[in-house]
């Protein structure tokens, strides 16, 4: 399932000067038919040295020199497609090392500072994974007690140093994004961007209408008030309901349910920022699509196609 490789370009290969092409007159031997070996006699004609074939040119690609086309570089930052990046360049919205670049085909190296409408574009190729976390895994990058972590589950996904966006409790299952895009991750976790999370909650008893109304109206937790933005009962299973929240405080759902006098027995995150677990079994991960990345960026007001008028 490792569908992304982060191969580093080879950088140093010497460019050989072009050899002058030999004309027919300069290589008469090559025009003669090949000599047929006479097996009846032991005396062999002295072997003629065949002229050395010119070595094929070793071309040094732009990639090997660490060069990337500017439009590719911008697209790799997850903002837009290469074609759209060309539009941004033409409109004079892109600066390389402080200078506006409007020509097509300009190449940049990693150390160049590229800005799109004043925002710096990172040279790193970002990776965005969506994991359906199973039970008994902890949301951390390493565990001193050597328990299973979410990192173990995505270890074949990428070489990039991804980290989980927020956390789910050890026994909570469901959706978790892992990425190396710190800016996007911070915004997704910040309550001001109102990223919606929907949980399927199962409780020890059937919640009363009053309890659910209390959750909607807001409950007082030790770190401040918290409320559910939407609650829907499960149509069949009486102990289950769906609850949407915006913040992502520690053990928030469990604490909210406990504040109204019940106990969570099972918790599953089924929607995160509009992403659902459709087609993603527990324990499995997938890369986010370009469209999903665009939508996340739009949601948290990060440089996106809309703000760039693409």
Active site residues: 169
Q: What is the closest distance, in whole angstroms, from the C-beta atom of residue 280 to ligand URA in the complex?
A: 18
Q: Among 169, 183, 202, 292, indicate the residue that binds ligand URA (CB under 6 A).
A: 169
Please say which residue, 254 or 286, places its beta carbon nearer to ligand URA. 254
Phi-psi region of 98 (alpha: psi -120 to 50; beta: other; left: phi over 0): left
* CA–CA separation, 241 and 174 (whole Å): 15
Considering only 91, 216, 242, 251, the residue that binds ligand URA (CB under 6 A) is 251
State which residue, 110 or 263, has the beta carbon closest to ligand URA. 263
C-alpha to C-alpha distance for 113 and 285, rounded to whole angstroms: 33
**CB nearer ligand URA, residue 252 or residue 307:** 252
Judged by CB under 6 A, the residue of 95, 107, 254, 284 near ligand URA is: 254
- Whether the Cβ atoms of residue 223 and residue 249 lie closer than 8 Å to each other: yes
| Helix boundaries (H) for the chain | 70-76, 82-90, 150-153, 182-189, 209-217, 252-259, 290-299
* Interface characters, 127-156, with ligand URA (x: CB under 6 A): ------------------------------
Contact stretch for ligand URA (CB under 6 A) within 92-100, 164-172, 284-292, 302-310: 164-172
Identify which of 278, 253, 256 has the alpha carbon closest to the alpha carbon of residue 266: 253
CB of residue 162 to ligand URA, shortest distance in Å: 19
Q: Are 97 and 146 in contact (CB under 8 A)?
A: no
Are the C-beta atoms of 178 and 164 separated by less than 8 Å? yes
Q: In the complex, which residues of this chain contact ligand URA (CB under 6 A)?
A: 168-169, 172, 251-254, 267
């Amino acid at each position: 399932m490792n569908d992304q490789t982060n191969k580093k370009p080879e950088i140093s290969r010497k460019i050989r000067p072009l050899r002058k092409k030999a004309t027919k007159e300069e290589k008469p031997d090559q025009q003669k038919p090949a000599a047929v070996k006479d097996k009846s006699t032991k005396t062999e004609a002295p072997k003629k040295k065949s002229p050395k074939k010119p070595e094929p040119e070793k071309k040094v690609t732009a990639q090997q020199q660490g060069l990337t086309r500017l439009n590719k570089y911008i697209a790799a930052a997850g903002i837009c497609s290469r074609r759209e990046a060309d539009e941004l360049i033409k409109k004079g919205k892109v600066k390389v090392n402080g200078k506006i670049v409007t020509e097509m085909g300009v190449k940049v190296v990693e150390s160049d500072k590229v800005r799109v409408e004043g925002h710096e574009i990172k040279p790193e190729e970002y990776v965005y994974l969506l994991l359906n976390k199973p039970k008994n895994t902890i949301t951390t990058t390493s565990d001193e007690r050597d328990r299973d972590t979410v990192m173990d589950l995505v270890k074949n996904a990428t070489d990039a140093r991804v980290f989980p966006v927020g956390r789910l409790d050890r026994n909570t299952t469901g959706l978790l994004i892992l990425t190396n895009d710190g800016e996007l991750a911070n915004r997704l976790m910040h309550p001001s961007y109102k990223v919606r999370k929907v949980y399927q909650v199962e409780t020890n008893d059937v919640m009363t209408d009053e309890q659910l109304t209390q959750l909607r109206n807001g409950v007082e937790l030790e770190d401040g008030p918290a409320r559910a933005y939407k609650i829907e009962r499960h149509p069949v299973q009486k102990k289950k309901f769906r609850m949407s929240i915006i913040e992502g405080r520690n053990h928030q759902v469990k604490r909210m349910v406990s504040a109204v006098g019940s106990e969570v027995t099972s918790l599953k995150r089924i929607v995160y920022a509009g992403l659902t677990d459709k087609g993603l079994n527990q324990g499995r991960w997938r890369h986010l699509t370009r469209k999903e990345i665009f939508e996340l960026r739009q949601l948290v007001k990060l440089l996106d196609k809309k703000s760039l008028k693409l």
